[in-house]
Every structure is written in structure tokens, then in C-alpha cells.
Amino acid sequence: MTKFEFYLHSFAGRTFKKKFYSNFVSNLELEGSEKVLEFGSGSGCLTGFILKKLNQKGVLSCLDISEVAMTILKKKFKEYENINYLLGDINSLHLTENCFDLVIIHFVLHDIPKDKRKDIVCNLSKILKSGGKLIIREPINKKHGIPTSEIRELMTSCSLKEVNMKTENTQNRKEIFLGTFEK
């Protein structure tokens, strides 16, 4: 993706989907002092909303494979001291196990090749603290999405217990999956 495409996506995210993202983050029930990983942070559609929910003890780590996305994130959130930028693939970064209270996957997993998803989810599970949660929101449309059954199977096969899940419709009538899983 080019810088122009990222800026366009970022603008569209801020302008047209602000309520969609802010409502999602509001419902995360963050206390403020958590250590959070935003997996596939992209250009930061959720990042600002998460940072506003964290206090000085809370830390947000943004992980993405795109250098362009990281450049944009670093510029947009340079005033924040409680943010870390992780560039690369979760499978090769060797992050510390049992260190995050919360992992957020937001509209990312469906774009990852099916044969790579399990390794990624299992690595995300490893970096969660005991009792930590993974919250996932993904499209489940047949044309562009991931089936609910596959999401649930991936999570449980990586030692995550389903806490709750639901499906909902977006404004443009696309079905999405929202689930919380606990280590």
C-alpha cells in the first residue's frame, strides 16, 4: 500500500467511521493501567481512542507489518509517551510471554492467509498474561471475511476460552463477529 492510500484510508477512518471505532473502544471497559497490544494497528484508526482510555500507568503497543503504517502512527501519536511501536511479524518478533493484559484484533485476521492464522493467534495467546483477554472484531461475510466457526476454533485451539461472542450488523449491513476470549 502506498503512503497516499494509507493517508486516504486514515482520513476515511477518522471521518466516516469515528463513531464505529470510538464505540468499540468505549466498550472495552479499560481501567486505564493495562498493558494493551493493538495487533495490526495500521494507520491508527483505534489507536487514539485506546490511548485516551489509558492513564500514565497504561501502555499501548501497536504492532503492524507495514513501515508506512508505522511512520504514520509515529507522526500522529508522537506526543504520547505510553506508546510502543512494533514493526514486524508477530511470529518473528519474540515478544515476552505473559506480558499483556489485553490483545485487540480489529479487522485484521481475515486479511491474513488461512494457513498462517493459527500460528499468529497462538503467539498472541502466549504473550497474554494469565487471565488476560483477547478481543476480536472481524467481518464474517462470505465474500470478504472469516467464518465465526473458524474464529472460535482458532481461539480455542490456542488455549483461549470463550467469554462471550455476538454478531452484529454495521451501517452498511455487513455482518461482523465480536468476541472476547480469556487465557
What is the span of the domain harbouring residue 174? 3-182
Q: What pLDDT is attached to residue 173?
A: 64
Q: What pLDDT is attached to residue 182?
A: 98
pTM greater than 0.85: yes
Average pLDDT over residues 95-121: 96
Instruction: Measure the CA–CA gap between 125 and 103, rounded to whole angstroms.
Output: 9
**C-alpha cell read off for 85:** 511501536
The total domain count for the chain is 1
Helix (H) or strand (E) holding 23: helix 18-26
Query: Which CATH number covers residue 147?
Result: 3.40.50.150
With a cut of 80, say whether residue 98 has pLDDT above it: yes
**Integer angstrom CA distances of residue 173 from 26, 39, 88, 145:** 22, 25, 33, 14
Only one residue has cell 464505540, namely 23
Cα dihedral sign for 86, 54, 106, 154?
positive
Average pLDDT over residues 5-21: 62
